[in-house]
Amino acid sequence: MKRPAPADTESLENVVQVLPLGAGQEVGRSCIIVRYGGKTVMLDCGVHPGFYGLASLPFFDEVDLSEVDVMLVTHFHLDHCAAVPYVTGHTPFRGRVLMTHATKAIVHTLLKDFVKVSRGGGSGEGLYTERDLEAAIEHTEVVDFHQTVDVDGVRVTAYRAGHVLGAAMFQVEIGGMRLLYTGDYSRIPDRHMPPADLPEQRPHIVIVESTYGVSRHLPREEREQRFVERIHTAVARGGRVLLPVVALGRAQELLLILEEYWERHPELQGVPIYQASGLARRAMGVYQAYIEMMNDDIKAAFTVANPFNFRHISHLKSAAQFDDVGPCVVMATPSMLQSGVSRELFEAWCEDPRNCVVIADFAVQGTLAREILGNPAEVMTRNGVKVPLRMQVDAISFSAHADFPQTSEFLDALQPPHVVLVHGEATEMGRLKKALEQHAAALGIPRTLYMPKVTQPVLIEHRAERTAKVVGRLGEKAAPQGAAVRGLLVQGRGGARSLLHHDDLPRFTKLHPGRVVQRQALALHRPFSEVRLALEMMFEGTQGAGDLGRVDAVGQTGGGAAAAQMLRIGEAVTLTYHPPATSSGGSGGHAVLEWCGGSDADMVVDAVVAVVLGAAGAPPGLEGAEAARRKALAAGNSEGVEAAELGILTALLGAQFGPARVDADQGLVFVEVHGQHVAINAKSGKVQCADANLRGRVEKALGRMHAALMPCDVSDLG
C-alpha cells in the first residue's frame, strides 16, 4: 500500500494529523496515529479478525514507532488490543502504554489464549510469544476513569465508554488542542454496563466509530424478547441453538438474559445451556472483582447475591467432550465462526432445519458469520466440502456499538467542529457521513466530516486558544474588561498556565528570578559638566547621587583627590563618571553605564550612549589631523595625506582602546589594552597581538575606520 506523502505536511505548525493504520473504512485492527505539536499518540493497537499472522496487523511501517509518546488502549477486544505485545516487543516503540485496570486484567488473560490459538495449538509461530506478552503487561500502566495523566506534555483523560467492562474513551490534549477518541462506545445502558460518559470539555476533534452507520438498534426490551423467543421456539421443536460470541463482553450480557429467562420458565430448565469458552470462565473472577465499574442494577443485585453465579448454565470444556443429544443452547467462540468450537458446532448442525444460529454481534466482512447472513444455499466447510445450509439463521444485535441516533446526539452535545469516522465499512461509513453532514447543516452547526482510508492522513488546521490563570499580585486587582495584563507566563508539567509578576516566581513556582547586569565604558573629551547638562535636558528625572570618592573600573570606592560622580537616569540606568588620573582642567576621563539587561533598559541605554557621545566631543588630535588631511588632499600632497590619516587613526584608536602612540617612520600605531600590547600597521592593516580575541576586536574597529576614511564618489549618489 502506498505510503502517504509526508514530511512537508507533517512539519507544518498548527496542523493536527490523524492517520489510520487500521480501521480506515474497515472494521478491524483499530490503530490511529495522531500527531500535533511535536507529539505522537497511538490510539488502540489491534488485529483484523478476517486475516492471520502479519497480514492481520495495522500498517506499522507507515510511521516511525520510535516517535510514539504514548499508546492508549480503549478495551480488551482483539481488534483493539491484540497487537500490543507485537509493538512493544518487535518494533522500536519505546512509549508508554495506558489502559484501565479492568482492561489490563482481561487483556492479560485474553492474549494468553490468543498466543496459543495463533500458534495453532503449540505448533508453528505466532505474532509474538508469551514472554513478549508478559513484558508488554509489565510495561503497561493503568488509569482510572476521569483521571488525567500527563505524558511529557500530552494530557490524557479516560472516560467510560459503556461498551464492555473497563472500556474507555480517551481525551487527548496537546498544547490546548483537545481530541476525543471514542473507541467502541455505547450511550445506552444494558443489563450490566452503564452508558458512555459525556465529557464536559468541548473537543476540537472527535474520532468516532461508525460500525453501524445509519442503522438504528431495536429497543433493548424488544431485542431481548425476540432473542429468547427465537431460542425458545428452536429448543421446543428439538433443535440446537448456536450463539457465536466474543468470549468477553456480549457473552456476559447474553448469559444474564438467558439465566433470567430460564429462571422464569421451569419448562425449559431441562434444556442445558453451555458456555463453551474456558476464557470466559476464567475471566468471570475479573467481572466479579470490578462490579463497581458496572451499572446500578448489577451493583444492587450484587448486594443480595452474585449475579454472575449462574444456576442454569454449565461450562463446556471442549466440543469433543460435548454429548450432542437433544435440544440445547451453546454459547461458543469465536463470534465470526472462523475457527474453534463455534465453527465445529456450526458445521455439525448446519444441515438440520430444526437448529438455529443467532448472530448477536457485528459480523465483519469477509467472515463466515457475514456470509451466512446472506442466506446462501450451501456453505464451505474447513475441509473444503460444500454442505447445504438448512439451519435457521437470525441476526439479533446485542452489539454495544453506537447506532445513528446515539452518534448524532453525542456529537450534537459535544459540538466538535471536526469529526473523523473510523471503524466502519466504507458503504455504511459513507452513509453516516452524509447523514451527519445533512443533520449539522439543518441545525446550522459548523462541522467538517472525514472518512479516511487506511494510511490516508487527515490534516486539520488548529490554532490553539491559550488560557492562563492570573495569580499573585497581578490577580489582586481585577483588570477592566479587554485590558491587557503584563506578566510572566509559566506553564507547569501538567499543562496548566499561570500569569504572574516576576517577584512572585518563588512563591508560586520553583523558579527564582535572576539579574544580568551590563556595563559599558565611554571615553569623554569634554568636561563632564557638559555631558551631565545634555543628559538632564534629554531625560526627565536624571538625578545626581553625589560624590563617591575615588571609584575604579570595577566600581570599588577608594580614597583620592579626584572624586567620581554618579547619575541615575530614570529607574533603569546608572552613569558613573571617572575623572582622569591626573588633573586636566576638568576634561577627559570616562563614563561607565550600568543597567540590568532587558528590552526597556536596553532602549534607554542606547539613547544615553547617543547623548553622551554627542556631548563628549572629538578625541584629542582628531580635528587637527582631519584639517591637515583636507589641506593635503587639496594640494595633491600624497605623503601629507598619509601622515594625516595616520594621525586620524591614532586619535580614533586612542579614543576606543586607550592612549595610543605613533611611529611615523614605520607607519605603526601602538596601543595597550589591559596590559596587552597591540601594534597596528596603518598601510597594510595588519594587527599584531598575543590575545586572539583582542586582535579580532581591533581588526574590526580598524576596518570601520578605514571605511570612514575612503573618499565618496559623488557620481554614485545619482
Question: Do 341 and 276 meet the contact criterion of CB atoms below 8 Å apart?
Answer: yes
DSSP single-letter state for residue 398: -
Rounded-to-10 torsion of CA 291, 294, 295, 300: -10
Helices 599-616 + 528-538 axis angle, to 10: 130
Question: What does the block give as the cell for 397?
Answer: 444485535
558 contacts: CB under 8 Å, gap ≥ 6: 549, 550, 551, 552
CA distance 414 to 421: 15
CA distance 255 to 238: 21
**Number of other CB atoms surrounding residue 308 within 10 Å:** 19
In 570-612, the DSSP E strands lie at 573-578, 590-596
Side chain identity at 114, as an amino acid letter? F
Pairing of strands 356-359, 240-244: parallel
Residue 145 burial (CB < 10 Å; 0-12/13-18/19+)? middle
Catalytic residue among 163, 401, 462, 590: 401
Question: What does the block give as the cell for 133?
Answer: 506478552
Annotated active-site residue 80? The verdict is no
DSSP string, 410-424: HHHHH--SEEEEESS
Question: Do 615 and 534 meet the contact criterion of CB atoms below 8 Å apart?
Answer: yes
Q: Tell me if residue 591 falls in helix, strand or coil.
A: strand
Alpha-carbon 119 to chain mean position? 37
Contacts 24+ apart (CB under 8 A), 709-715: 709/645, 709/648
Rounded-to-10 torsion of CA 234, 236, 240, 242: 50
DSSP string, 328-369: EEEEES-TT-SSHHHHHHHHHHTT-TT-EEEE-SPPPTTSHH
Question: Do 356 and 230 meet the contact criterion of CB atoms below 8 Å apart?
Answer: yes
In 552-692, the DSSP E strands lie at 557-558, 564-569, 573-578, 590-596, 660-663, 668-673, 676-681, 687-688
DSSP string, 161-191: --SSTT-EEEEEEETTEEEEE--S--SS--S
656 contacts: CB under 8 Å, gap ≥ 6: 523, 701
Alpha-carbon 548 to chain mean position? 58
The 3-class SS string of 28-53 reads CCCEEEEEECCEEEEECCCCCCCCCH
DSSP string, 529-554: HHHHHHHHHHSTTEEEEEEEEEE-TT
CA distance 534 to 365: 88
CA distance 649 to 668: 10
Q: For residue 163, report the phi and psi dihedrals to the nearest 5 degrees.
A: -80, -60
CA distance 564 to 592: 11
Question: What does the block give as the cell for 511?
Answer: 523558579
Question: What does the block give as the cell for 43?
Answer: 490510539
Residues classed as catalytic: 401
